[in-house]
Amino acid sequence: MAATLLDVAPGGRLTLDGTTRNAAGVGVPVQLGLDELGTALHEVTFVVVDLETTGGSPTGSEITEIGAVKVRGGEVLGEFQTLVNPGVAVPPMITVLTGITTAMVMAAPPVTEVLPAFLEFAGLDRGSVLVAHNARFDVGFLRHAAERMGLPWPRPAVVDTVALARRVVTRDEAPNHKLSTLAGLFATEVTPDHRALHDARATVDVLHALLGRLAPLGVTHLEDLHTAADPVPSGRRRKAGMADGLPSGPGVYQFLGPRGEVLYVGTAVDLRRRVRQYFTAAEKRARIGEMLDIATSVRPIPCATALEAQVRELRLIAELDPPYNRRSRRPDRRPWLRLTDEAFPRLSVVRNLPAAELGSAIGPFHSRAAATAALEALQEAVALRRCSPRLPVRPSPTAAACALAEMGRCGAPCTGAQDRTAYEVALAPARGALGTELDPVVEVLRARISALAAQQRYEEAATERDRLRALVQGARRAQRLRPLVTTPELLAARRADDGGWELVLVRYGRLAGVAVSPARTDPTSVMDALLATAEQVAASDHACGAAPVEETELLAGWLEQDGVRLVRVGEGGMPLAWPVRGAARHAVPGRG
């Protein structure tokens, strides 16, 4: 049995720039696969390839020669070389450059025979890393040929020696980063001459020379090579050793300053990999870059599951208030939207909502501006009074109606023109929206937005759209959290990747404990131990429950995953379900 209980604390292709290239050559961010993480460079199999072609574009030109060298740990494992029949005449300018003539390739096999043989030699689907000088050119031709033949492209990790050279070879050493220039600089055994195998052999020597220069900068593993071309300061990259010895499982990490103070708290599914990335990838956030330059060590807190790590992170940030973490200073005072408790209720934004009113209010909102926008949306859909004075049951004889009443936007209960019964009828859609039925209000607001757009009053339509979005988001959040914060105890399980079970115990919206039951064992004893030893949580008198709303939302997200099973649900809470006519049915386009 492996169990962990939480502390009761307060509160296309991989390239060196970290992108994959789509068919248009546009960079799209990607992440290294798990099989590529933490591999020392001397253990990596590199396949260095070079192509000769009839032109510069794979859509209008053909391959005429493929040369490749497979190396690992400085040792050559094999070579591959063949001319390729392009099916067209070799242009004279290509013949002048490469020495390859049409007569030379006429008897050569076509690419349909060569490419499968090359892919088998390279073993790109078995973890080999593809290397080329100006890799976009060579990989583009190979991938295009595979697509034309209907062959699946293995999407290997790709290293471009041009990008590496730009990182460590200065203009003082070489006027450019061409293969011939680098070959002369590093005195390669083979001189490149625009023949595929010769150029591939020269690229091997260039690769090894570049890796030798990168090693003192902390580039010692494949994951480091992935970001080696990023503009990371040398002093920061040398700190990558802080990640050495950290566990590779989920957990929380704390960057510590010179006096042992906690500078920053983060979470990761792989502690060692995530911490190392801080020192090997370009950091776009200036504050975090400043923190990394100050940090002297990292303190890991291993966790049983990723969910536990996320919750621990939230609680530690609330407890320690690290200077480089950004967070809400008063997460317990986020605004809610509710009706006032009086004879003629009106909509009101409040900071503290009693637990007893949870079923008749929406929120909490991220800001007062969002809560105000939701209030204005409801006021547009429902003819409620907007004046702030508390109205008596019997109106004053001297009371006068306001402009909203004259426009038909209010029934004027202040003058007696609308009694309590009539006002309650008008109030019903608002009560429904603050509860579980948002449909009537959404229909009214969408009709208003459409009418404004039809009149080409687009700015007003956009304002109404943003107000509707705020209302829907606030209602969705309330409807999502109500069941969790009112349920005394909930035990759920999810099958882990290794065949075991992740067990999560929630009490009044707070994570009371987690445990992991190993594969091929009965989880009953682990569940019993978890129930007996987990944190005891009392019901809260606040609508947010016994935990900050961010924690409860993490739990809701985990419970909503496919494959999660409810093992035990205590009595007394709201049903664990979305309302049929609730906010989850509605999506409002525009800025999120």
Residues serving a catalytic function are 194
From residue 98, alpha-carbon distances to 53, 94, 140, 235, 589 in Å are: 9, 6, 20, 43, 56
Question: Which tokens sit at 72?
Answer: 């690992």
User: What are the counts of helices (DSSP H) followed by strands (DSSP E) for the chain?
Assistant: 19, 17
Q: Spell 487-515 as b/e; 16+ CB within 10 A means b.
A: bebbbbbbebeeebbbbbbbbbbbbbbbb
The SS3 of residue 527 is helix
Any bridge partners for residue 491, and if so which? 505, 568
Q: Of how many residues is the chain composed?
A: 592
User: What's 520's DSSP letter?
Assistant: T
- Exposed/middle/buried for residue 259 (C-beta within 10 Å: 0-12, 13-18, 19+): exposed
213 exposed, middle or buried (CB, 10 Å; 0-12, 13-18, 19+)? middle
The answer to whether the CB of 17 falls within 8 A of the CB of 230 is yes
Q: Is 338 helix (H, G, I), strand (E, B) or coil?
A: strand
Report which residue type is found at 251.
Answer: G
Between CA 399 and CA 407, with CA 402 as vertex, the angle to 5 degrees is 135
Whether the CB-CB separation of 259 and 206 falls below 8 Å is answered with no
Q: What would the DSSP string read from start to end of 343-378?
A: SS--EEEES--BGGGGGG-B---SSHHHHHHHHHHH
